[in-house]
Amino acid sequence: MYRGLKVSIIVPAYNEEETIAEVVRDFITEPRVDEVVVVDNNCRDRTAELAAAAGARVVTESEAGYGFALRAGLAAADGDLLVLTEADGSFRAHDLEKLLVYTDAAAMVLGTRTTRQMVEQGANMGFILRWGNVTAAKILELLWYVPHEPRLTDVGCTFRAIHREAYERIRPGLSERGPGFSPEMICEAFRHGLRVIEVPVSYHARRGGRSSHSAGIRAVGRTALKMFACIFRKRLSPRP
């Protein structure tokens, strides 16, 4: 509970048995967290079993994809404040307070992984990936400079918090299946005139598994193209 508001952590998971139990325990023992919701997105290993044993509430989503998994988790969560994170241990509960504090002033608070001093040794945030995220963020920033004047450096960071009321407002406009879901949330928030701010968070090395979105130059390129397409499509769409 944070200032009388229930806090839900949403974790999309696909074959994350190496890390999921530790991630669930990390967040569920944080005093402000009321529940951890793990989304089993067609896992073929013991992810769901281990998540439940660690104290999470597990829901299933049969449609494969990052966007589908996160929407399922957001729909299932009971919280007034909805916090998204990863199942691989790259984000930690000790940074949760940063996001929650700024929800007092904004509808959505984004983490950014592009502050070099906050990127831990071994984290998957090399030069190309980091500056690719910065570039996409600056394009989004430029496209919505009027009237929002946002300050963004990372549109792909999963670790973020949003008020339930704000999520319900943008929910009808969310349709991305994959990694485009992250910038799509930001675009929809701007389309609805919501305040979005960004804070640096620590970014750690994956404790297990392999990212299908950022493992290698080709994967990074495909992800970037999907994000750019989403950003421009949203900017050209009529405001709701």
Q: Indicate whether 2 belongs to any domain.
A: no
Exposed (0-12), middle (13-18) or buried (19+): which is 219, by Cβ within 10 Å?
A: middle
Query: Residue 13's domain is classified under what CATH number?
Result: 3.90.550.10
Containing domain of residue 19, as a range?
Answer: 7-236
Three-state DSSP at 49 gives: helix
In a domain, 1, yes or no: no
Q: Which stretches of the chain score pLDDT less than 70? A: 121-122, 124-125, 207-217, 219-220
CA distance 231 to 223: 12
86, amino acid identity: E
Q: Residue 134 corresponds to which tokens in the numbers above?
A: 């910065």
Whether pTM > 0.85 for this model: the answer is yes
- Tell me how far CA of residue 235 lies from CA of 21, 107, 109, 171, 240, in angstroms: 39, 20, 20, 17, 12
- The verdict on residue 43 lying in a domain is yes
User: Cα 149 to the chain's mean position, in Å?
Assistant: 22
Provide the domain count of the chain: 1
pLDDT per residue over 105-156, tens digit each?
Answer: 999 999 999 888 877 766 766 777 777 888 889 999 999 988 889 999 999 9
Name the pairing type of β-strands 160-163 and 108-112. antiparallel
pLDDT of residue 109: 98
Can you say how many angstroms the Cα of residue 70 is from the centroid of all Cα atoms in its chain?
8
Q: Round the average pLDDT of the chain to a whole number and report it.
A: 91
Predicted confidence at residue 9, as pLDDT, reads 98
pLDDT of residue 217: 67
Q: What is the structure's pLDDT at 81?
A: 98
DSSP state of 173: G
Measured at the CA of 154, the angle between CA 149 and CA 157, to 5 degrees, comes to 130
